[in-house]
Amino acid sequence: MENLGRIIVEHPFCNGLQPDSVELLISCASNVRFEADQHLFREGGEANHFGLIREGKVALEVAAERPRRIMETAAEGEVLGWSWLVAPYRWHFDARAVGPVRAHRDRRQVLAREMPKAP
């Protein structure tokens, strides 16, 4: 079994973060896997996490358009799910796995409770 802490520390998002911030990410992270065409989240749903993509590619799509329009893709080494940072904490797009995706998911509720408050 791979060491989750080591994998997260090696993710590009963690470059330059303070060690205590990286430890916080590790403490609330879980491994997730999605198969091709599986949705990671859907537009309008509660944005309660973000993900560090480890392998694969995710399409961000506008759900209201037919056919669905891909607005952006996120791939290995990128972060997915910035909507968890800003109220009203709702997803602005659908996120669909283009192929198999492996990622780490961190929960907003835990991070918000543990993050240092701005002065």
CATH superfamily of 4-114: Jelly Rolls (2.60.120.10)
Confidence at residue 2, expressed as pLDDT on a 0 to 100 scale: 58
Q: Which residues in the chain come in under a pLDDT of 50? A: 1, 113, 116-119
Confidence at residue 108, expressed as pLDDT on a 0 to 100 scale: 58
Confidence at residue 112, expressed as pLDDT on a 0 to 100 scale: 52
Selection from 31, 29, 77, 25 nearest residue 56 by Cα: 77
Selection from 112, 119, 101 nearest residue 38 by Cα: 101
d(CA 106, CA 29): 5
Confidence at residue 86, expressed as pLDDT on a 0 to 100 scale: 82
Q: For the chain, give every domain's residue range.
A: 4-114
Name the β-bridge partners of 30.
Answer: 105
Selection from 49, 58, 42 nearest residue 91 by Cα: 42
